[in-house]
Amino acid sequence: MSNRNNGSESASSVPAGNFSAWLHGTEASLRSGNGGADVPCGACRGCCRSSMFIYIKPEERQTIRRIPRALLFPAPGLPKGHVLMGYDDKGQCPMLIDNQCSIYEDRPQTCRDYDCRIFSATGISVDQQTQPEIAQRVQEWVFNFENEGSREDERVLKEATSFLEKNRELFPPGSVPNNPVQLAVLAIRIYRLFSGLTSQARQDASSLSDAAIADAILTALSEPG
Ligand code: SF4
Ligand code: SF4
């Protein structure tokens, strides 16, 4: 999330950028682990008002310094120093003051990385009841498709997402996340491999079983880098 007003937007559609440029950039950012997303959020503050716990690493010292201690608590299951920031009784981040992030320059890396376009791109739905503002923005995003290749990128990404959702039982428990953000991230990580596997099978006029595709995905995910 950028949490800055970057310009005009209509009520029903918001330009999300070029699809393949976005996808390949997001993929590279996930691979490098550098994170950071330049989202054209405009006036939206959806993710600051969606009852989300914000994870903060111990290395984010300046961020931690800016947040009152009482708002932070240990992140369950993680070593000492990893913390979460909660939200108020309206589901709003306590650092959102007068509709602006009061620690924008020092906001957590989690906030810098959050990009709700992953839901539009993968076709994963956002819960309208619990996160209505994010759900609204996800419906509004409109990607530009640079060429036929970018339409194919979108088709494969959605197919890979759907494969993961439908074949959870072929993966060890927990390896296909229920959390929508983590599921979308996994789909982006594996869509190229998925594309290679399914197109090779098409070319050979062979049929690759779902179990074989799941095995290949698991093997690739277990390899370093
Ligand atoms: S919901 Fe999306 S558009 Fe809105 S602030 Fe968050 S990342 Fe930006
Ligand atoms: S820290 Fe700032 S950007 Fe992050 S959720 Fe809170 S208000 Fe939004």
Q: Does some domain include residue 9? A: no
- Predicted local confidence at residue 9, as pLDDT: 47
Pairing between β-strand 141-144 and β-strand 14-18 as defined by DSSP bridges? parallel
Q: Tell me: do 57 and 135 sit in the same domain.
A: yes
- Predicted local confidence at residue 194, as pLDDT: 94
First to last CA, the chain: 27
Q: Tell me: do 218 and 160 sit in the same domain.
A: yes
Q: Does some domain include residue 5? A: no
* Secondary structure of residue 48 in the 3-state scheme: helix
Mean pLDDT of 193-197: 91
Separation CA 195–CA 161 (nearest Å): 12
The torsion angles phi and psi of 202, rounded to 5 degrees, stand at -65, -45
* Secondary structure of residue 193 in the 3-state scheme: helix
Rg, the chain, Cα only? 19
Q: Does some domain include residue 4? A: no
Lowest-pLDDT range of 6-20, 47-61, 150-164, 166-180: 6-20
Q: Does some domain include residue 1? A: no
- Mean pLDDT in the chain? 91
Q: Tell me: do 162 and 71 sit in the same domain.
A: no
Q: Is the pLDDT of residue 7 over 50?
A: no
- Predicted local confidence at residue 33, as pLDDT: 79
Q: Does some domain include residue 57? A: yes
* Secondary structure of residue 50 in the 3-state scheme: coil
Q: Tell me: do 74 and 136 sit in the same domain.
A: yes
pTM: 0.89
Six token digits for residue 4: 């800055």
Cβ(93) to ligand 1 under 6 A?
A: no
Sign of the CA dihedral running 175, 181, 184, 188: negative
Q: Is the pLDDT of residue 56 over 70?
A: yes
Separation CA 67–CA 85 (nearest Å): 9
Cβ(176) to ligand 2 under 6 A?
A: no
- Predicted local confidence at residue 225, as pLDDT: 58
- Ligand 1 atom with the smallest distance to the CA of 14 is 3
Domain boundary pick from 142, 170, 185: 142
Q: Tell me: do 122 and 206 sit in the same domain.
A: no
Encode pLDDT of 64-78 as tens digits.
999 999 999 999 999
Output 208 or 115, whichever has higher pLDDT: 115
Q: Which of 19, 9, 10, 11 is nearest to 149 (CA)?
A: 19
- Predicted local confidence at residue 2, as pLDDT: 56
Residue type, 192: R
Q: Tell me: do 99 and 208 sit in the same domain.
A: no
Q: Is the pLDDT of residue 6 over 60?
A: no
Nearest protein CA to atom 2 of ligand 1, as residue: 116
Q: The tokens 């530009």 sit on which residue?
A: 144
Domain boundary pick from 109, 142, 175: 142
Separation CA 36–CA 216 (nearest Å): 29
Quote the number of domains for the chain: 2
- Predicted local confidence at residue 36, as pLDDT: 77
Cβ(135) to ligand 1 under 6 A?
A: no
Q: Tell me: do 137 and 151 sit in the same domain.
A: no
Q: Is the pLDDT of residue 187 over 90?
A: yes
Beta bridge partners of 72: 85
Range of the domain at 64: 14-142
Residue type, 151: R
Domain boundary pick from 107, 127, 142: 142
* 60 Cα–ligand 1 center, Å: 22
Q: Is the pLDDT of residue 4 over 60?
A: no
